[in-house]
Amino acid sequence: MNQAVVLFDQDHQNHIELLAQRFEVIKKLDSLSNKHAAKNKIEVKGPRFVLQFLSGKLSLLDRSLPKIKPIFVDFAEGKNAHRSQFGGGISQPVAKAVGLNKQRSLHIFDATAGMGADSFVFASVGAKVTLCEQHPVVHALLEDGLQRASLNAQAHKITQNMTLLPWGENKNSLTFLESTETMFDVIFFDPMFPARQKSAAVKKEMTIFHDLVGEDQNEDRFLDVALQKVKFRVVVKRPKLAEHYANKTPSFIQEGKSGRFDLYTINKIA
Ligand SMILES: C[S@@+](CC[C@H](N)C(=O)[O-])C[C@H]1O[C@@H](n2cnc3c(N)ncnc32)[C@H](O)[C@@H]1O
């Protein structure tokens, strides 16, 4: 796992201290922004990734790409908010794949929460979502995004139905599923896949995310464990031409524009 560094910040001292405990190597740097470093040709030593509060948002900076904007989770503005207002609701491919076009009040377990975009779509059409994220930096970004969303009436209406499992024992969804007694209606699984080379800045964001998180380490047995903890279906997001997860043939395939959803069905959603 790549190291990240948490930038010390007087205004968020307590929060930073808490986050700092989650990382193996913590260095508290003084506030030196990437822009400042690039402009003044200062060589920035230390890990490639930095977490810093910028305008009140916990943000990820990649020191090897100082021109790329910091990455943070935002449910109140930007892509997520726009998608929830104009994205087509239950007709969105990911919402259909989990069955929200049939029943809106499903309890979904998002086993690979990432930046929370898919979960936000589920919650925006009425689902209750439990989110699990195992990467400490991604978890911290998501947790911060959810906290800020609670201060925005519009976003909070949606995010109040999203529960991120707290950092700690439950960080890996396989071990969580093995130990929980909860039966979910649907389990959604979107593991990492190799990043494709794209030049646009938006895609750079994906490359940074990919470099931070690394290759997928999930075991094939994830699917079997998930199938024992679900009432209706397990949905696996796959790249268009990828083989089926764990070479297991799905009950149904929903093709999308840039990828596909493999559905493993236990019961029909009425
Ligand atoms: C492709 S991203 C998911 C993107 C997400 N669907 C979204 O909308 O932002 C995969 C994420 O799942 C996390 N992850 C992968 N396997 C996991 C596991 N077994 N338990 C918890 N998190 C996992 C990775 O750390 C990464 O952040």
Smallest CA-to-CA distance from 129 within 171, 103, 151, 158 is with 158
pLDDT mean over 224-246: 96
Tell which wins on pLDDT, 7 or 158: 158
Task: Name the residue of 71, 74, 115, 134 whose CB sits within 8 Å of the most ligand 1 atoms, as the mutation to test its pocket.
Answer: 134
What spacing in Å lies between the alpha carbon of 113 and ligand 1's midpoint? 5
- Whose Cα sits closest to atom 1 in ligand 1? 192
What residues flank ligand 1, with Cβ below 6 Å? Answer: 111-112, 114-118, 132-135, 138, 172-174, 190-192, 213, 218
Q: DSSP labels for 90-107?
A: GGSHHHHHTTTTT-TT-E
Kindly list the strands in the beta sheet with 57-62, ordered across the sheet, starting from the edge strand earlier in the chain: 4-6, 49-54, 57-62
Length, in residues, of the chain:
270
Alpha carbons 207 and 49: distance in angstroms, whole number: 13
Ligand 1 geometric centre to CA of 43 (Å): 32
What average pLDDT score do residues 166-173 get? 89
Tokens of 131: 């989110």
Closest ligand 1 atom to the C-alpha of 172?
Answer: 20
Query: Does pLDDT of 47 surpass 80?
Result: no
Kindly report the protein residue whose alpha carbon is nearest to atom 13 of ligand 1. Answer: 112
* Separation of CA 241 and ligand 1 centre (Å): 20
Residue pair 164/142 in contact (Cβ under 8 Å)? The answer is: yes
Q: Which atom of ligand 1 is nearest to the CA of 193?
A: 1
Q: Residue 138 Cα, ligand 1 centroid: separation in angstroms?
A: 9
Give the SS3 label for residue 142: helix
As given in the structure block, the two tokens for residue 8 are 């010390």
What is the 32 CA–ligand 1 centroid distance (Å)?
Answer: 30
What percentage of residues in the chain have a pLDDT greater than 70? 79
pLDDT tens digits, one per residue of 143-166: 999 999 999 999 999 999 999 999
- Those residues whose C-beta lies under 8 Å from the C-beta of residue 71, and which sit 6 or more positions away, are 59, 60, 61, 141, 205, 208, 209
pLDDT digits (tens, 9 = 90+) for 203-229: 778 888 888 888 889 999 999 999 999
Judge whether 219 and 174 are in contact, CB under 8 Å: yes
Q: What is the pLDDT of residue 249?
A: 97
